Every structure is written in structure tokens, then in C-alpha cells.
Chains A and B, each alone.
Chain A
């Protein structure tokens, strides 16, 4: 490093002040634009164009960047270089065609892009209750599907770009923040009793710090990320310093949430009547009326404060921000608290030839979990399950103590109130970036970044609680730590006007190297049998006499990459991009450590051609791209025959001689390699007057799927990880933006997105079919709801077809020969639909009148099914016989109390929906009175309603939740074949009303 610093100090600057002149014209009409602003980026002042559209401006050097802006037009930035005349055309600001698109290893103008990249309109999305960056994206980008695992604050979200491409390796996109790929590992340890809580790896980011989000979807865009790109890439840039004097911004808001709907459980009176009618035994505990949904769920109050300051002095610009966010969960005592702090600073030196960027970020996140699993089943049971089944004729409390009556049915209020189960996460993300223009067109860049996150979870189940009573209390502390170090070196040659053959070409060449090391560590300690509840046991684990088996582990993955990219642009008319990446990862076999990922794309802006002279058509760009990307989300050490020491394999010899067992527990797979996705994308971008839009068609095929296949026995394990099988995704995406009204004081912008993805398993490498999607509930062991089978999509529901309930109260199913049977074993199992929507769409209306703004965001999905596991298990009169509550439809569905809950098409339900996701109204004081009276730079108040209503035939809490995560995202490079579209005692999402204020000084 010292050599570098010496080198820095030895570099001087050569001031080359000069004058640049030129004309600014309208891109569509060719008319000169009078009154357009021309300024040197980062400097004060500037000039405007004259009546003939000409300008003249003094610039500090060849490296200066000129910024051309005009109301209603898109701002353009042009580097001066050696030119003395710079003529610029500006285009009307319509649609998503924002100025600069950050594509990871560089930035491009939107019109230069020939791959499939979507930008999120961050300011438009950043209203109301936005707790994570994904909330900004949901529904706003065609082809991106985001489904929450649960309504619990901070819980995981499943982000799929253009369909699921992997069966058991991670299907999450790559997240790149400020140019650095970050880890996506959940550091929230699982709780005592095996409760696992998915966690959103991005919830540590304050959405208000985000400047832009780009979604790289197509092959040409993602292939530059090689083995990490096949699931798509989300490129997030955080806000940097602003030019000029200090700006201070504050925003604060308060949200109130309420349950959207309740499940239709029997009321206490209905329950008593039903018991009398259907179950003849005496009913204990009559006389009390308890609505357990009311007792467990509450109205929530959340608030958020953001403070930021930014500005620049001389060569340095900076932005600092801090935020506090406190969100209550719908379930009593659950919630999330987040504190973040961020400093972004940039310094330029050596006549702007050297640019230094420092970004430092730290967040603290605390979650209060319900001790029993918030969703799903698990051995510990779930608090929602307790809420649904606890007899309504039993009290919450009796004689000052929580009422409990049976081990497998706990009082859910007691579980929430008595047991402390808190996790916290700390994340520090820092990166230092040096850019140096070695020559006018040649820039070298070095980036060093560290991503350090750790999560703790502390649980205490008091002796006083029903769960802790038998074992004298349970105290537990667990910790996970994830570290990722990335270094990057980039060399960029960027020539705007390269004269060749008498024509001007624009060429950009990029070469780079990247090294990444990921480390994941865990530890967990638990003791039981405490003397007192006076101190939460996790603070004094030594106070428990019964020590449980401790655990710890460490895993590490190294990756090196070399990549290059070539961009060619002829007058924004012909565009060529090609890239090549060579990735090596330690997780793969000796022969397949490295792989190549190529891509190419072509663009042709037909509107620029003289032969296409259509009035108002300023852009008609045809794009075609193809490429190969990979997925390497494989756990380490799969290729080696390693031995594991464990207590589970211990020998117990003699009276008390315990010998820890050492065995190879995994069959080595020495030939393991990457999953490879080959994708072709064809697209059109157009801008015509007030309309702009994009249509893309893609087809991808993912091969060499990482999948556990059976091993010939005898072998150390039943399965081995291998590259077999393939999956394809085909889809169409369209987005349209229209400036419907455009008057002086009034305008209305309408944005619409629609997409359709068809997912199909092509081959499972000789495994035939794979059943997954475990059905939850007692007596359902070994029952699965989904089947992977060639010719069907991932997540296809599979089971018997329900016909009716017969006169004997039995369910009748279809047999293979078209007849009927009451025996589900005899019934013909068949594919029953799938949770992938035929069409996903959204509509955003953005309305402005003087200082008022109003926006409404609708989102919907059509043609999707969800397995209502909650309905299956709790719509059954046999619950009455056990003295527990059930769902009301069971009263008159014709089944008897002998009915055994059986999975069938009856519970695979249409879950199409339309949702008013967000409705917000704001008033901007700035021009009305703010400036003059209070000296505010800006002042705005707003109100916003989230999740206002949902129209759906689905009968569960929410058609969009997915609870069966089957190990997905629960640790470092977990492998799982998770289910999708299963609603099993899900944690519902609230409807929230938010009031807020934004002030800028």
C-alpha cells in the first residue's frame, strides 16, 4: 500500500482550462433548444443556450464533464476530452429512459444499451412503508417476482428474475451494491426448538439511501457476472454527495397497521354448538369466550426517521445519513428495529484524474421472534397453529396465570408473552475505490471491499412457561458470522469519438480481475434446567445444569475471475456489446475449477435511420442478445471425501465411555461443476411522443443442474450432488409508460408492466420424478404436495382429484379409468396446477396537480394456484372430537367427524389476485410558502396506504405468502428443493396507513 501512496503523491495535475462551444437541439425534431442549462459537473454556476440553441462555456480541463439539462428533457453528460465543439441533442423525458444506467462494471447511457436491463423508478417507489430494497422493486419491473415468506417484519423474500432456473442450488439473484457483489447469506441463527426464521439479507439497507436500482435480466447483461449471474443481477447504487453547499434532509413517518382479514374460525358459541352436535363427549372449560385471533394479533404502530446531510467543498463531496426504523409485527411482541449509518465520500485530485470514493456503512437490526415458529410447522409447532386451534371456550388467563391444558396445543398468547426470542444482526459494508485516468481515454480502477455481518440469537424459555416447565427452562445463544472480501481491478478504455474511415465511432473496452473470499462461521450453545427465571438464561448459560451438545462450524469459498467487455456504438444507431468472463471457484472439482461465460448483443436504433421518418418516433431500438451465465451456489467440500466428527455418530461403549464418531457422511462428487444457463433475448424499445415502452422475449435453458441423485450402494450416503437435468424458462415482458396528461399544472403518468414466464423441467437426469413440498400437519408424515417431472413446471402440485363429498361423509376422488373412489391410495394422482402465474401485471398512476401529488399502484397475478395447507388441516370436524377449533366451512361440508384430512385438488386453490399495493397523496410546500417563510429547500407532507385491498378468490390470509421454505436461504450455500405456493399457517401481512413529512434545508 505504501508504494501506492508514494505513487499517488508523485502525481501532479496539469490544468488545461479551455473554452467549449456548441449547439443543443431537440432529438426528435432537430429544432434548436433555447434556454437549456449547460454546466460543468460538480462546479457552481453554468450557462444557458441562446435563442439559436448555442452556448459557450469555460471548462477546467479535458476531463471535465458537461451537463446539459432542460425541463422535460433528459439530462445528458458528456466528457469534454480534446473537443472544442460539442453539439448535443436532448430527448424528451418519457418513460424509464433515465440518463445513466449503472451496469456493475461501468455505466452506460440508456440508449446505448442492447441487453435486457430494467431500471426501477426509485423516487416513485420510495413512499409509504418501505422496509427493504425489495419493496421498491416488487411489481415495478416486468419479469421480477418477489414473494414474502411471511408477514413477519424482516422475514425473507424470494426474488426470482425470469423464473426459477435451479432445482436445489440458490435461485436468488446476485446483489451488487456500489459495484461490489455482496453476500446473500442469512446470518440469523435458528432458534431453540429448531425454529428457523428466514431473513431478508437486504433488510439491513435503508431504502432511503438508495439512488438507483437496475435489474439485469438478460444474458448479455448478466454474463459479465459469469458464474454468479444466471439468476439475474440487482445493481444498487447508494446516494453520494451533492454539488454545492450543505444540504440537510429529514424525513419521518409513522405507520399504523391492522390485520387485513381474519380466518373464518368457529366463534365460541358456534364451537360449543358444533361440539354438541358432532362430538358427544363432555366439553370441558365451557363458559368462556375467547377470540384467539384478536388476542394474538394487534394493531401495530411503526415509525421511521431519516436524517442526511450532503454537499461538497472543493474537491471533496460527501453524504452522511442515519436512520431509525421501528416496526411492530402483527403478532404480539414480534417486531423489528433497525439503526443504520452511512458515509459516502468522494475526493478528486490531480486535475480530476484521480478519484477516490469511500463508502462506509453500518447497520444494526433487531428482531423479536415468536419462539414457536412464526410460520409452518416444525417440531416446535407454530404460534399461528396454536392461534387457529386453541379452544375458543378456554381463557387466556386463569387465576392470574396463563391457561394451558395440553402439550401439543399451547396457549399462543403465553408463548408470545413469556418466551424471549430475540435476534440481532450487525452488518458493516465498506469499500474504497480508486480511479485513475492514466491517459485521457484510459482509466484504471481498484476497489477493495469488505462485507462483514454477524447475527446472534438469544432465546430463553422460562421455567414458568409450559414449554420450559418440564426441562427447567431453556437458555440458548447462537451466532453466525459471514465475511466477504472482494478486490477488483478494472482497466477501461473509453473513446467517444474515434475517427476511423472518416466516421466517428464510440468504443469502450473493459478488462478486469476480481477476487472474492467468503467465510461463514457458526456457533450455538444451549443449556437447560435453570434455578430461577430472575435472569434470562441466555445471559448466564452456566446457570443451567443440563448442557446440550454445542455446535460450531466454518466454511470458506474462494473465487477468482477475469473478464473483459467490448462496447461499440456508431452514432447511437448501431450498438454492439460482447463480453467474456472466466471464473474459477474453489467449490468445484479439479477438472472443472474454471469455466468461460461469453455473451454478445446487438442493437439497432431504427428511428435514427433516414428511411424511417415517422413523426414523433424518436426511438425504435431492436435488440438481440445471447449469452451464457452460471450458478455456483454449491456448498464447499462436496468434491472431496472428507470425514466429519460428530456426537450423532458417537459410540457409547461400556458403562460411560463415549467415543466421538468420525465418518465420511457424504459421497464425494469429484466432477462437480457449474450450472449453466444459456439465454436468448429479443427486445424492442420505443419512444413515440408521450409514449415509451419495452417488449422483451426470452428463452433460457439451464443445464447441468446441481441435484442430489441416488448413489449405488454401499456408499457413505444415499445421495450425491451431481450435474444432471435441465430446466427451461420462456417468457415475454412488456412495459409501457405514457404521459397521459401534460399541462402546466397538471400531469398524469401511467406506467404498466406485464410479464408471463413459462417454466418447465426438461430433464431430471434419470431420476424420473422428484416429490417435494411436504404437507404440514399431524398425520401427514411422508405426504408431499408437489412433483418435479419433465414437461411440468417447478412447483407443480400433484395429487388426487377431488370430486365431491358423498352421502357417507367421505371424500370422493377420481380414479385413472374415470371412475371414482373414496380411497386416496386408489385415486389417480395427477398434476393439479402450479403457483407460477400465467400473467403478472402492475399499473402505476402518477398524478400531479400544482403542489399535490397522488399515486396509486396496483399489482396482480392471474392464473396461479396455491395449496391451502392451513385449510386442509383445519377444515375438519375431527378437530372437534379433539376439543380444538376448526375453520367454519367444515361445519357444512358434509364430512363426518371421522374425516381424515387428505391432500387433494380440493385444497389447491385459485389464488389469482389484484391488489392495491400502495396509494399515496402528498403536498409539496416548496413553491407555495416554504421557501419564503421557513427557508426550506423543500417541504412535503404525505399520507400513504399500503396493502389497501386485495381481490382474490383465495380463502386463506393472503394469496401471496409462501411458508414452506424447506431450508431455503437458511445458511451458507444451502441446498434445498424448496416448495413454492404453500400456505401453511402463514403469518399474515397488515394493511398500513402511513403519515409522513419530508424537509430539506
Chain B
């Protein structure tokens, strides 16, 4: 550059100044005023345009069901009962005592499972509310499909509220923005937190969503002809296997039957000593179960185990389920929780959950009941078979090589007896104890670290049989009750009940039967509480820990069992999580907390 040959005027200096300064400004001006552009996420304005997009939003509203089935809500329902526990195995499963506290009814409101369960269920509610709001505003879906979608989402919301109500009692009812219902709508804020409803109010809300009736005016007509615009009126009927995993009318009736069966508890008054029972709706419960039984859309499977197969979406018996898919990374982790790490499953497993010996032996109270006892893994473990086998059938081929305890030349031998809740000693003593409620079929792949593909049934047709049995027994129709009970026994190959037992005896048999039939299906705590506080409030169980070969196995929720002594009646409700009390000042703690008597022996 021959600098001395160019003129250097003031204007050219100024020009350069402007040029240097203007460039970045010009570049910036091309941008909007620091607007955020979503690069890998979607803004609500650009979504909810058609049915497929709604289905995607609905899918996400279903997604928390997987956490209900395998996370906090499941753990609370099962580990607080006699059905499932996990002993502390040396350095494993101590986890700051969280498991032992649930097993021994020694929890307090800051237990991490409570907050986890609460928020899992609230997430489900928030998502269904979101879909409902967008649905009402959208013109991308026909009115008829809109009504079906809406019924599906309202069922789902009712299902999440049912779980909250069952575990925690009274919670705030919050509905979708734009709803006609007289409840606070989302979004809720810290400035105006939603008020807490009572357990009965939540119960009535759910009944009303399903049928249009509440416990104040409920009768059989609410079941047989649900009100206009309700979930039951608008839900499509199940059209085949393609509807598996979605809420159809059968699911609505099955939930209704369960809600009515437990009506005495849910409309009752929680007290520090338990639950003062409220209104009973056994006739209505029986009618609701009939709606499913007679719908022609569901049938008991030939084999009990078909309901837990790797492809159990084919089961004609499953009414509503949390659905899993191993290769999507959304697998069912339950088989991992129960399986010993040395078992050749192809997936790393955690060697944890067991049942207690009393529960395992109780199957033997009924002759020819091995079929269902076999869903629990026990005894010496072998390498084969490790695929295409169901629960106890797996790892049972004694001609194959034994499975060794880790680090020892000792064969793994799962023993139903658990010496103590905190196990001690060498690897074998830490890893052998406890029969494992394995439950599921170990299918042929794919298996991923995410878990297994077996779906988790929330409601099966066999439950409708046992609801019939229980309701009819309460209505005095003991013979009918025995028939329905025997249908279930017969399907699994177990010996049926001869003659007609007394009503109280029948109650014990039904509770025991539900234990066999719904092992690990997240209803045990609910059953134990109902049998302790409903049905006229007479405990059905026995006072002391059952002998291994007691004729009928029917403990009570606050009563003693292995590792647990009598606990206070307030344990029939879990406390409102401490974190939630701190976040929403409108929430009040449940009766008896803190200071509710624990069951630590």
C-alpha cells in the first residue's frame, strides 16, 4: 500500500470510523432483539396442529405411568406391605435406611420416596391438564375425536388422582386452564397456591369425572348410565390389541369398580388410629365389575403367566397397563431389582427385592398352587435356561452348570428365610437370603440396561372376578363369591374351595387369594388397609405372626409380620411430603404425623 499517494481527508477518516463502528452493529441488526430461538425444542405455538401431534402429547401424559409402576408409588404400595422387602445386604441396599423404614413402618415425612411419588403423580396430572387445555383450543381435530381424546386424558388424570388419594389422602385438585370445573386451574403459582381438598373430595372428583355422580348421590344407575360428557360416556370401547396401553371404557369401569370396592376407606375419615369407615358401595362395585366382565372385550388368559410374558401386550386379560419397551431405553426395571447379579440375564441386575418366607410359604396353604408360587424365584440356581422362560422356571436346569455366589466357590441358593433385616457375613450370607418375586418372563432379547419389555398391568380382568367375589360376599351372596373365587383358582390350576364358608372366613380367603393373584402388582397395601378398616371395621387377620403353614394367610396392615411389630393406625396414610408442605402453605399434615407409632420391633 503506497500510503503517501492517497489523500487523507477528514471525510475519509470519518468514513473509516463509521465503517469500523457500523459493521458489528449491522451484523447485530440482522438479529431479532435477543429473542430466544428454540433450536432443539418446540414452542407450544408451533405444535398441537393435528391428531398425530396430540397423540404425541398424550403419549407423554401416559409416560409417568412407568414411574408409577416401577418408582416411588410402587415402592410405597409394596414395601409397606408384607409382600415385598429388601434386606440390607452388607454394603448394599443400606441406602441410608430408606428401605428398612418403609418395611418397618418407621417412615417420617422427609422420606425421599414420598416426595418422589408425589411429584411423579403430579407430573402426570400437569401433563394431562396441558393436553386438555390445548385440545379445547385446537381446531386441528374433529369434534368426535376431540371428545374421545378428552375422555382418555380425563381418565388418566383421574387415575393419577386415585393414586395420590390412595397414598396420601387429601390433595389439592387442580384442573386444566379453561375448564368449566370449579377447581383452581393450571398454572398454579406460589403467590396463590391451590387449597388442599379432603380425601373424600378427591374421591368424589374422580367418581364425578368417571360417571357424573359423587359418593353423596351414587347408585347403580351412575354405573349403568353414566352422565353426559363423562369419561365413561365418551370413552371409546377397546377395539383390539392396538388399544393396549391406552385408556378405554373398560379401564374406566375397572377403576370405578376398584374405587367403589374401597369406598368405605376413601369416604372415611383418617384419624391417628386408622380410618373411620365411611359409605360402602358393594352393590355398585359389583355392577361396575360386571360392566367389564360382560363387555366381551376381555377374557382370562389360559395361563396365569401369560399376563407377564415379554409380549404381554397380547394378553386379553390386561385392562390397563404401564407399557415398556427395552430397546427404546424405557424398559421395566423390576426384573433387575429382584434378580441376582450372577444370573445370566444379559443385563446387570441388582440383587434386591424379596418377599418374606411367610408370604412365600402361604402359597402352600392351597393345594396345587405351585403355578403361582413359581412366579417367585427360590432354591439353587443354575445357568440354564436363561431365556424364553418364566420366573421360577428360569435357572432351574440342574444338569446345567451352577451359578456361583460372587467371589465364592459356592452355588447360589435363594432361601425364603431371611435371617435378619440387616444381613451379615460373607457373600453367600448376604446374597442368598430371600425368595425373589421375579414374576416376569425372561424373553428372548432385546435386553438393554434400560430394563425389560414386559408391561406392568395395573388392572386385569381377574381383579374384576375377585372384586365380584368380595362385593358379593359383603352383600351376603357367599355362594356367588365362592364361584368367582374358584374361577380364579381354577385358571391357575389351584384346588378350588369346597362348599360355602362363612362370610368372615370368606374374607380371609379372598385377601389371601388376592395375595397369590396380584403379587407384585401394587395393590397389596390397599388390600391390607381395606381388610383392616372396612367391612365393618373388624380385622380379618390374626394377631400374631402367622405360622409357616397357617391354613389361611391374612395379616393386617398395622399388625405384625417378619421384621415388623404392630404399628399405629395413622400408618394407613402416608404423610404429606415435607418438601410439599414447605412449598404449598395450604397443605396440612395427615393425622398422627409426626409421632405416628412405628412398627420397629
A interface residues, Cβ below 8 angstroms from B: 1, 3-4, 7-15, 279-282, 284, 349-351, 391, 405-409, 434, 436, 438-439, 444-446, 448, 470-471, 487-489, 491, 513-515, 517, 546, 548-549, 552-556, 558-560, 584-587, 593, 636-637, 639-645, 647-655, 657-664, 710-718, 766, 768, 777-783, 825, 873, 876, 878-879, 881-884, 897-898, 900-901
- Asked, given contacts A13-B3, A659-B55, A883-B427, whether A654 binds B245 with beta carbons under 8 Å apart, the answer is yes
A-B contact pairs, 19 of them (CB 8 A): A4-B16, A11-B12, A12-B7, A349-B1, A436-B20, A438-B17, A444-B17, A647-B328, A651-B60, A663-B127, A664-B130, A714-B174, A714-B188, A715-B188, A779-B88, A873-B91, A882-B90, A882-B91, A900-B88
- Asked, given contacts A780-B94, A783-B96, whether A14 binds B8 with beta carbons under 8 Å apart, the answer is yes
Q: Which of B5, B242, B346 has a CB less than 8 Å from the CB of A654?
A: B242
Asked whether B126 is an interface residue with its Cβ less than 8 Å from the other chain, the reply is yes
Asked whether B244 is an interface residue with its Cβ less than 8 Å from the other chain, the reply is yes
B38–A642 contact, CB under 8 A?
Answer: yes
Chain A nearest CB from B521 CB (Å) reads: 19
Chain A nearest CB from B53 CB (Å) reads: 7
A645–B96 contact, CB under 8 A?
Answer: no
Mark interface residues in B1-13 (1 if CB within 8 Å of A CB, else 0).
Answer: 1011111100011
- Chain B residues contacting A653 (CB-CB under 8 Å) are 59, 242-246, 323
Asked whether B399 is an interface residue with its Cβ less than 8 Å from the other chain, the reply is no
- Asked, given contacts A651-B245, A655-B314, A714-B186, whether A445 binds B27 with beta carbons under 8 Å apart, the answer is no
B123–A717 contact, CB under 8 A?
Answer: yes
A281–B43 contact, CB under 8 A?
Answer: no
- Chain B residues contacting A878 (CB-CB under 8 Å) are 90-91
- Chain B residues contacting A391 (CB-CB under 8 Å) are 407
How far apart sit A584 and B115, CA to CA, in the bound complex (Å)?
38
A560–B28 contact, CB under 8 A?
Answer: yes
B24–A881 contact, CB under 8 A?
Answer: no
B127–A648 contact, CB under 8 A?
Answer: no
Interface centre among A281, A554, A587, A639 (most CB of B within 10 A): A281
B407–A882 contact, CB under 8 A?
Answer: yes
B16–A438 contact, CB under 8 A?
Answer: yes
How far apart sit A640 and B430, CA to CA, in the bound complex (Å)?
50
A640–B42 contact, CB under 8 A?
Answer: no
A655–B244 contact, CB under 8 A?
Answer: yes
- Chain A residues contacting B341 (CB-CB under 8 Å) are 406-408
How far apart sit A779 and B347, CA to CA, in the bound complex (Å)?
20
B91–A643 contact, CB under 8 A?
Answer: no
Q: Which residue of A lies closest to B346 (CB)?
A: A470
Q: Which of A279, A436, A781, A876 has a CB less than 8 Å from the CB of B16?
A: A436
B325–A652 contact, CB under 8 A?
Answer: yes
How far apart sit A546 and B328, CA to CA, in the bound complex (Å)?
11
Among the stretches B224-232, B554-562, B577-585, the one at the interface with A is B577-585
How far apart sit A88 and B347, CA to CA, in the bound complex (Å)?
78
- Chain B residues contacting A712 (CB-CB under 8 Å) are 188-190, 193-194, 583-584
B interface residues, Cβ below 8 angstroms from A: 1, 3-8, 12-17, 19-21, 23-25, 27-28, 31, 33-44, 47, 53, 55-63, 88, 90-98, 112, 115, 118-119, 122-123, 125-127, 129-130, 172, 174, 186-190, 193-194, 241-246, 311, 313-314, 323-325, 327-330, 341-342, 346-348, 406-410, 422, 424-430, 446, 448, 455, 579-580, 582-584
- Asked, given contacts A653-B243, A779-B95, whether A281 binds B428 with beta carbons under 8 Å apart, the answer is yes
A407–B342 contact, CB under 8 A?
Answer: yes
How far apart sit A640 and B42, CA to CA, in the bound complex (Å)?
10
- Asked, given contacts A639-B36, A641-B44, A881-B425, whether A662 binds B60 with beta carbons under 8 Å apart, the answer is yes
Q: Which of A349, A446, A664 has a CB less than 8 Å from the CB of B23?
A: A446
Chain B nearest CB from A92 CB (Å) reads: 41
Q: Which of B63, B91, B348 has a CB less than 8 Å from the CB of A876?
A: B91
- Chain B residues contacting A779 (CB-CB under 8 Å) are 88, 90-95
- Chain A residues contacting B174 (CB-CB under 8 Å) are 714
**5 nearest CB pairs, A to B:** A651-B59, A883-B407, A661-B60, A663-B60, A487-B24
B407–A546 contact, CB under 8 A?
Answer: no
A281–B410 contact, CB under 8 A?
Answer: yes
B190–A778 contact, CB under 8 A?
Answer: no
B63–A650 contact, CB under 8 A?
Answer: yes
- Chain A residues contacting B347 (CB-CB under 8 Å) are 470
Q: Which of B19, B346, B579 has a CB less than 8 Å from the CB of A7?
A: B19
A654–B13 contact, CB under 8 A?
Answer: no
How far apart sit A439 and B44, CA to CA, in the bound complex (Å)?
54
B407–A716 contact, CB under 8 A?
Answer: no
Q: Which residue of A lies closest to B313 (CB)?
A: A655
Q: Which of A282, A663, A900 has a CB less than 8 Å from the CB of B57?
A: A663
How far apart sit A659 and B51, CA to CA, in the bound complex (Å)?
12
A658–B325 contact, CB under 8 A?
Answer: yes
- Chain B residues contacting A487 (CB-CB under 8 Å) are 23-24, 27-28
B408–A281 contact, CB under 8 A?
Answer: yes
B40–A553 contact, CB under 8 A?
Answer: yes
B582–A768 contact, CB under 8 A?
Answer: yes
B36–A652 contact, CB under 8 A?
Answer: no
Q: Which residue of A lies closest to B7 (CB)?
A: A12
- Asked, given contacts A436-B16, A663-B60, A782-B112, whether A651 binds B92 with beta carbons under 8 Å apart, the answer is no
- Chain A residues contacting B346 (CB-CB under 8 Å) are 470-471
Chain B nearest CB from A239 CB (Å) reads: 26
How far apart sit A439 and B187, CA to CA, in the bound complex (Å)?
59
A713–B580 contact, CB under 8 A?
Answer: yes
Q: Which residue of A lies closest to B55 (CB)?
A: A659
20 more A-B residue pairs beyond the given contacts A643-B42, A881-B425, with a C-beta to C-beta distance below 8 A: A10-B12, A12-B6, A279-B426, A281-B427, A282-B408, A408-B348, A488-B24, A643-B57, A645-B56, A649-B59, A649-B60, A652-B324, A713-B172, A714-B123, A715-B188, A779-B90, A878-B90, A878-B91, A900-B90, A901-B91
How far apart sit A648 and B33, CA to CA, in the bound complex (Å)?
34
Q: Which residue of B lies closest to A445 (CB)?
A: B20
A883–B91 contact, CB under 8 A?
Answer: no
Chain B nearest CB from A700 CB (Å) reads: 28
- Chain B residues contacting A546 (CB-CB under 8 Å) are 327, 446, 448
B126–A716 contact, CB under 8 A?
Answer: yes
B122–A715 contact, CB under 8 A?
Answer: yes
B39–A554 contact, CB under 8 A?
Answer: yes
How far apart sit A819 and B18, CA to CA, in the bound complex (Å)?
78
Q: Which residue of B lies closest to A900 (CB)?
A: B94
Q: Which of B3, B95, B328 has a CB less than 8 Å from the CB of A351?
A: B3
- Chain B residues contacting A640 (CB-CB under 8 Å) are 36, 38, 43
B188–A349 contact, CB under 8 A?
Answer: no
Q: Which of B95, B190, B330 has a CB less than 8 Å from the CB of A647?
A: B330
Q: Which residue of B lies closest to A556 (CB)?
A: B39
B98–A555 contact, CB under 8 A?
Answer: no
- Chain B residues contacting A3 (CB-CB under 8 Å) are 15, 19
- Asked, given contacts A640-B43, A663-B60, whether A651 binds B584 with beta carbons under 8 Å apart, the answer is no
Interface centre among A3, A644, A718, A883 (most CB of B within 10 A): A718
- Asked, given contacts A12-B6, A714-B174, whether A284 binds B407 with beta carbons under 8 Å apart, the answer is yes
- Chain B residues contacting A548 (CB-CB under 8 Å) are 329, 448
B56–A660 contact, CB under 8 A?
Answer: yes
Q: Which of B28, B42, B118, B314 has a CB less than 8 Å from the CB of A642?
A: B42
Q: Which of B57, B242, B579 has a CB less than 8 Å from the CB of A657?
A: B242
A652–B245 contact, CB under 8 A?
Answer: yes
How far apart sit A898 and B407, CA to CA, in the bound complex (Å)?
18
Chain A nearest CB from B347 CB (Å) reads: 8
Q: Which residue of B lies closest to A15 (CB)?
A: B4
- Asked, given contacts A586-B34, A710-B582, A882-B426, whether A778 binds B91 with beta carbons under 8 Å apart, the answer is yes
- Asked, given contacts A436-B16, A489-B20, A643-B43, whether A662 binds B56 with beta carbons under 8 Å apart, the answer is yes
Chain B nearest CB from A881 CB (Å) reads: 4
How far apart sit A196 and B459, CA to CA, in the bound complex (Å)?
41
- Asked, given contacts A558-B34, A648-B63, whether A444 binds B55 with beta carbons under 8 Å apart, the answer is no
B56–A587 contact, CB under 8 A?
Answer: no
Chain A nearest CB from B405 CB (Å) reads: 9
- Asked, given contacts A593-B34, A650-B328, A652-B328, whether A406 binds B118 with beta carbons under 8 Å apart, the answer is no
